[in-house]
Structure 1
Amino acid sequence: MRWTARHDRTPGGGRLLAAALALAVALAAPVVGPAAGALAAPVTVTNGTQFTDTNGAVVHAHGGGVLKVGDYYYWFGENRNPDNTFRAVSVYRSTDLRTWEFRNNVLTQSSAAELRVANIERPKVVYNAGTGRFVMWMHKENGSDYNEARAAVASSATVDGDYTYHGSFRPLGQHMSRDITLYNDNGTAYMISAADDNYDLHIYRLTSDYLNVAALVGNFWDGAHREAPAMFKRGGTYFLLTSGATGWSPNQARYATAPSISGPWSGWTDVGNGTTFNSQPAFVLPVQGTSGTSYLYLGDRWAGAWGGPANDSQYVWLPISFPTATSMSLTWYPSVTVDTAAGTVTGNSPAYYRVTARHSGRVLDVINGSTANNAEVKQWGWNGGGNQRWEFQDAGGGWFRLVNAASGKCLDVANASTADGANIIQYTCGSGANQQWQWAALGDWFQLRARHSGKCLDVVNAGTGDGADVQQYTCGAGTNQQWSRTVS
């Protein structure tokens, strides 16, 4: 994950999460000690949103990983300053994977002198049964450029206590190390990191105390230009999930498989859509319960893709399915139901609606079926196309994002304008209030009120023909501001 402009050898390199992502995906959450199982009720997690903790504060666990200790899942991740430099590694805990309790900022700027001006990315934690310590690895930069490419290590006697910082280095004294993940394979720990300006992916075996690198297991993907690694094992197959290196912008996730960490590893196979549903891998979490084990993809939808700070990033969690023992697939769902007691993760299919203007009988339409940012939204006669179907995605607090079925982009007030007559377009979904709408009852009809401006979705001049433009305007009683929605 990257916090500065890209600087890789080719344009479009290094940060998609060289930057959760991007939730590098540290994977493999071992259970420490005898776990009775999380006795929690099933919960629903909404995708493309920010989580809030039990105090109502935003959860900042970007680029992070999850470790299960007893009945609790502990989620570690990046918590950044507004300029994207390091503020803390924060940790939260939950039994159900939705209700998160803030526990501690386990590593902060005051933990060590070299962290006072630094950038820390993709923290991952594993437990060392031999030493009784929790060990964190992360990617460290100096906070002013992106040239250090160092791994850093910290440890603690308790999972959510203050971590002692042990310093940073290049593995084996020579290899660059950026996006990072850990995998604990029955007591032998491995670190996987992007090397050589993200052109290579290295697998290292750690020393017995997990505090240093013992050996380079292999560079199996020389020149692959992959980052955001996440490793997990299912049955007898190891999976390594990665993203391409395209800065903050999302891209096609790909995975490789092997019967052993030392290989032989397969070539890369695409998974998910071309943008991995506008996310980057951060972790893959096995969820084990009475009905078996499910695998949950944890991804970050990085705010850098729309020019925002990292702490405005959102999360995408999806169930992983396995067509064969050596293949995996990802399907988009607007929400997932997680039952940690049963060990099940189920995707919930979206409901799509046509949104019809009262005065004309015509519907909201992305013109010409465009999937591009800034495409115009107008009214048009209903034809059943995906560009006329909208998902009302819960954004919390009674607000919704209207997501177009054809493009996956959001109904947006252009440039977040608060003026009457501001244009309505589609744009990549983010956290902006100009993409959040209230479905407000007005008798048997409804107004769509923009959160940032308080103004209403309005058909310009109450036009009744195909192609009449749509704008925001001060709310009134006109039927050109009144809408219905019908499942379609």
Structure 2
Amino acid sequence: MRRRILSLVLAATMSVFTLLVTGSPAQAALVTVTNATQFTDTTGAVVHAHGGGVIKVGSYYYWFGENRNADNTFKAVSAYRSTDLKTWEFRRNVLTQVSDPELAVANIERPKVIYNSTTGKFVMWMHKENGTDYTQARAAVSDTVDGDYTWQGSFRPPSGTTSRDMTLFKDDDGTAYQITSAAGNADLHIYRLTADYTAYGSLVANPWAGTFREAPALFERNGVYFMLTSGNSGWKPNQQKYATATSLTGPWTALTDVGDDTAYGSQTAFVLPVQGTQSTSYLYMGDRWGNSMGGTVNDSQYVWLPLTFPTKTTMDLPWYPQVAIDTDAGTISGVGGGPYYKLIARHSGRCLDVSDNSAADNAVAIQYTCTGGLNQQWRLQDAGDGYVRVLAQHSGKCLGVAGAFTADGAYVNQYRCTTGTNQQWRFQDQGNGYYQLVARHSGKCLDMANASTADGARLIQWPCGTGTNQQFQRVTA
């Protein structure tokens, strides 16, 4: 989202692992977090942890992020902690304008912290600029996870290229990596860090050269690495994409769309694994930037969503107005926004499905054996005058007639949602719990081509008739 001119890398270290904890944390319980809101801490103050990341230490999750002045300039990297991911206690501003003379006029973005078990130090990297343009980067150190960080200086990657939006990742073997937008955001580089995590080691991969990606988040699940990232479009939200690999050095897959065309008005900040007694779940942590709404960074809201995994190497980013989190159990689930429906073809008993679980525009709408997958779940959005948009839950995109064609046989696919009448449907009651779906722009019905009963048969529009291949049961999923 944020297009930058130049930048370098920021590193930060912290010394001894001496956590200052008073008393024992209360056991976490199931909590519900409301999306597209500003969060508040235990004093009622707004939580400013924008573009941030989370590290778990003991029973606490520590959240570090950007905190700005009223004029949008750097104020601090602020630290908060929580056991349940909803009740946030402000700890301190761990890096401020007075931490070092070079920070007196600065711009700091996307701070991330990892712990080095060999040195006993916490290490923070970030994207730092001089407050005027994008030509710098710096680093810092502290005695505790939420103590004062000591400024360490700045440097670019070994190649001399720029480093802008970035994240950190610590692998199971203790090796740490920085992933950063490079070459003026054209590339996304993966660098191995030195053993103490405070400097660059070597470039291990540049999988998507020239694709202009930023806001990276990297995590590992069941032996598969997932890279989630956004495109470049200034402050305007855009389509997030992801790729997978079984080694950080690659080969990596091509980038694949995930979620709707704006990530529900947000941009990737971090993906947090939440491990508990029942499972390990993965929380998408996104920023809905205040700048995209006519404000500043400190006006930003948070969008947190459950990532789901239809297969070992595929991922969905569905929308929910709220997310329920149980850190003890390790469970994350979406709340509200429904009801969600399966649309079952009367003639075949098969479900309306987006082929291959794709989140891409033009992904094919088909019928398929009902599986319960999110690509077979649909929510209805009022479009006025008795018409609705039909949104696929796995992608947040709309069922529409290709090209807004009015011809018989025009295909029906999935597209980013618009105000077009080719994405508006009327559910016309046919009795016995079945409906015809009538396209507003053409007056024609959603139809299973040639009344096929086979998996993979295409959806088209066709003049409305009495055939059961134009009748769909709407079953709550």
* TM value normalised by structure 2: 0.67
Matches within 5 A, 1:1-150: 2=2, 6=3, 39-146=27-134, 148=135, 150=136
For the 8 Å contact 1:319–1:346, the answer to whether it is kept is yes
Question: How far 1:151 moved relative to its partner?
Answer: 4.2
Report what 1:479 is aligned to: none
1:380-391 correspondence runs (5 A): 383=386, 385=388
One-letter amino acid of the structure 2 residue matched with residue 176 of structure 1? T
Matched, 1:188 2:175: yes
Equivalent-residue separation in structure 2 for 1:151 and 1:215 (angstroms): 18
Deviations 1:212-263 (A, max 9, x none): 0011112111101000000000001000000001111000000111001111
CA offset digits 1:164-202 (Å, max 9, x no partner): 111111111602000010000121000000001100011
1:260 and 1:129, CA in 2 relative to 1: closer, same or farther beyond 3 A? same
Does the Cα contact within 8 Å between 1:236 and 1:259 map onto a contact in 2? Answer: yes
Task: Give the percent of matched residue pairs that are identical in Structure 1 and Structure 2.
Answer: 64
CA distance in 1, matches of 2:166, 2:330: 27
1:172 and 2:158 matched? yes
> 1: distance between equivalents of 2:384 and 2:31?
39
Question: What are the Cα deviations for residues 127-153 of structure 1, in whole angstroms up to 9, with x where unaligned?
Answer: 00011111000001110123x1x4432
SS of the equivalent of 1:265 reads: coil
> Alignment partner for residue 210 of structure 2, among 212, 219, 223?
223
Per-residue CA shift, 1:447-474, capped at 9, x if unaligned?
xxxxxxxxxxxxxxxxxxxxxxxxxxxx
Distance in 2, Cα, partners of 1:119 & 1:111: 14
- Residues 384 and 124 of structure 1: is their aligned pair in 2 closer, same or farther, counting only changes over 3 Å? same
**Kept in 2: contact 1:132–1:157 (CA 8 A):** no
Instruction: Decide whether aligned partners of structure 1 residues 302 and 32 sit closer, same or farther in structure 2, where only a CA change above 3 A counts.
Output: farther
SS at match of 2:209: coil
Q: CA deviation at 1:85?
A: 1.3
Q: Is the 8 A contact 1:37 1:289 kept in 2?
A: no
Q: Is this contact kept in 2: 1:38–1:72, CA < 8 A?
A: no
Q: Distance in 2 between matches of 1:293 and 1:119?
A: 35
Give the structure 2 partner of residue 435 of structure 1: none
Aligned to 1:201: 188
Contact map agreement 1:151 1:178 (CA 8 A) in 2: no
1:155 is paired with a residue of what secondary structure?
coil
1:470 aligned residue: none
Please tell me the residue identity of whatever aligns with 1:68: K
Classify the secondary structure of the residue corresponding to 1:311.
helix
Structure 1 segment 373-412 matched on structure 2, within 5 A: 383=386, 385=388
2:227 — aligned with what?
A: 240
Measure the CA separation in 1 of the matches of 2:256 and 2:26. Answer: 34
Q: Counterpart of 2:145?
A: 159
Equivalent residue letter for 2:336 = S
1:270 shift after superposition: 0.3
Q: 8 Å contact 1:38–1:71 — kept in the other structure?
A: no
Return the alpha-carbon distance in structure 1 between the equivalents of residues 312 and 18 of structure 2: 27
Aligned residue for 2:141, secondary structure, equals strand
Q: Any idea what SS the aligned residue of 1:75 has?
A: strand
How far does residue 289 in structure 1 lie from its aligned partner after superposition? 0.4
Measured in 1, the distance between the counterparts of 2:268 and 2:384 equals 40
Change (3 A) 1:231 1:291: same
In the aligned structure 2, how far is the partner of 1:155 from the partner of 1:7? 26
**Secondary structure in 2 aligned to 1:322?**
coil
SS in 2 for 1:73: strand
Q: Which residue identity does 2:31 align to in structure 1?
A: V
Aligned length: 340
For residue 338 of structure 1, the aligned residue among 325, 347, 352 is 325
Q: C-alpha distance in 1, partners of 2:162/2:251?
A: 23
Specify the alignment match of 1:297 in structure 2.
Answer: 284
Structure 2 counterpart of 1:266, from 253, 256, 263: 253
Q: 1:257 to 1:349 in 2, by over 3 A?
A: same
In structure 1, C-alpha distance between the alignment counterparts of 2:184 and 2:279, rounded to whole Å: 39
The 2-side partners of 1:237 and 1:310 are apart by: 33
Q: Deviations over 1:328-350 (max 9, x none)?
A: 10100000100000000010122
